[in-house]
Amino acid sequence: MSTRGSPFAQPRVSLTLACTNQKGGVGKTTTVVNLGTSLARLGDRVLVVDLDPQGNATSGFGIDRDAATGSIYDALVDGRTLDDLDVPSPIEGLRIIPAAIELAGADVELATVESRERRLAHALPDIRDRFDWILIDCPPSLGLLTVNGLAASDDVIVPIQCEYYALEGLGQLLRNVGLVQANLNPALDIRGIILTMYDARTKLADQVVSEVRAYFGPKVYETVVPRTVRLSEAPSFGQPIIVFDSTSRGAKAYRDLAQEVSRGATGRAG
Ligand code: ADP
Ligand code: MG
């Protein structure tokens, strides 16, 4: 991580982070795509795992979900090794395990499978050593796919939209992280809260920022991701914002966030 190249470099630690919030449209995928890209630009090896049947992280890198020869579904349901499933992205140092539409049925298909909550956790060691960061893009639900993401992760990052009802459902999210912690993954913790879609023109946005900071304290990253049109346009070009418009405010925010996330990791490793 940031110790790379230093003569005092510690052994590098691979960190798996699930980006989760059961609300849709809060910036999970945007965060995974752009945080991942920014971490790769810092020189780290990044794997994005697209756990959302919608496949927005996959298409956000310009990868055609239907053309991919494998997806995370094959690992979860058919037990294929992850080592065979990752494909390159246009970003140097960043690879992705795509989603597939079949993932939409995985909840049902896994229902009767042994250790259904730990399928991803059991598969991940096959590939972990190849990466410094594994970022898991979770679907907007608290179903079995998300539980697999949480059970496989070291920590959770949670995007919160600076808008009405931002805090709604957060209690449920925290309870669920607690449940996974108690039953599946004792070391799981909330690593960081990311404030997204901040619109400086509204008073409400500042209220949400204050409330979230008051509640979560130092867990909230300093970086606040602004609401910008460029960020919303980038996915339709299949490009991370850092490629689409590298000098935009959104690109800067995600670069700053990557620095913060990276610093946290060094602290923990040291
Ligand atoms: P989720 O994965 O939580 O459902 P997304 O990351 O897909 O959320 O974001 C939802 C929509 O909002 C997408 O169309 C995305 O392009 C857009 N979006 C995300 N973050 C921002 C932002 N900071 N400013 C403007 N639009 C954004
Ligand atoms: Mg998404």
**Per-residue exposure over 95-106, b if at least 16 CB sit within 10 Å of its own CB, e if not:** bbbbbbeebeeb
Q: Which residue has the higher pLDDT, 257 or 266?
A: 257
Q: Which two tokens stand for residue 45?
A: 């090896």
**Cα 148 to Cα 145: distance, rounded to the nearest angstrom:** 5
The number of the ligand 1 atom at minimal distance from the alpha carbon of 56 is: 7
Residue 27 near ligand 1, beta carbon < 6 Å? yes
- Band (269; pLDDT cuts 50, 70, 90): very low
* Residue 240 contacts residue 37 (beta carbons within 8 Å): yes
Residue 140 near ligand 1, beta carbon < 6 Å? yes
Residue 194 near ligand 1, beta carbon < 6 Å? no
> Three-state SS string across the chain, please?
CCCCCCCCCCCCCCEEEEECCCCCCCCHHHHHHHHHHHHHHCCCCEEEEECCCCCHHHHHCCCCHHHCCCCHHHHHCCCCCHHHCCEECCCCCEEEECCCHHHHHHHHHHCCCCCHHHHHHHHCHHHHCCCCEEEEECCCCCCHHHHHHHHCCCEEEEEEECCCCCCCCHHHHHHHHHHHHHHCCCCCEEEEEEEEEECCCCHHHHHHHHHHHHHHHHHEEEEEEECCHHHHHHHHHCCCHHHHCCCCHHHHHHHHHHHHHHHHHHHHHC
Residue 30 near ligand 1, beta carbon < 6 Å? yes
Phi, psi angle pair for 240, to nearest 5°:
-65, 155
Average pLDDT over residues 49-74: 93
Taking the centre of ligand 1 as the mean of its atom positions, its distance from the CA of residue 163, in whole angstroms, is 13
Average pLDDT over residues 150-158: 98
The number of the ligand 1 atom at minimal distance from the alpha carbon of 196 is: 23
Taking the centre of ligand 2 as the mean of its atom positions, its distance from the CA of residue 115, in whole angstroms, is 25
pLDDT exceeds 60 at position 138: yes
**If 0-12 CB within 10 Å is exposed, 13-18 middle and 19+ buried, where does residue 2 land?**
middle
Taking the centre of ligand 1 as the mean of its atom positions, its distance from the CA of residue 66, in whole angstroms, is 22
Q: Give 208's contacts (C-beta < 8 A, 6+ positions apart).
A: 160, 161, 162, 163, 166, 167, 195
Nearest Cα to 14, choosing from 132, 101, 148? Answer: 132
Taking the centre of ligand 2 as the mean of its atom positions, its distance from the CA of residue 17, in whole angstroms, is 15
Average pLDDT over residues 153-158: 97
Q: List pLDDT tens digits, range 4-21.
A: 444 455 555 799 999 999
Q: Which of 19, 28, 30, 199 to mutate to test the pocket of ligand 1 (most atoms within 8 A of CB)?
A: 30
Q: List pLDDT tens digits, range 48-57.
A: 999 999 999 9
Least confident range of 5-9, 30-34, 144-148, 221-225: 5-9
**Cβ atoms within 10 Å, residue 183:** 11
**Cα 54 to Cα 104: distance, rounded to the nearest angstrom:** 8
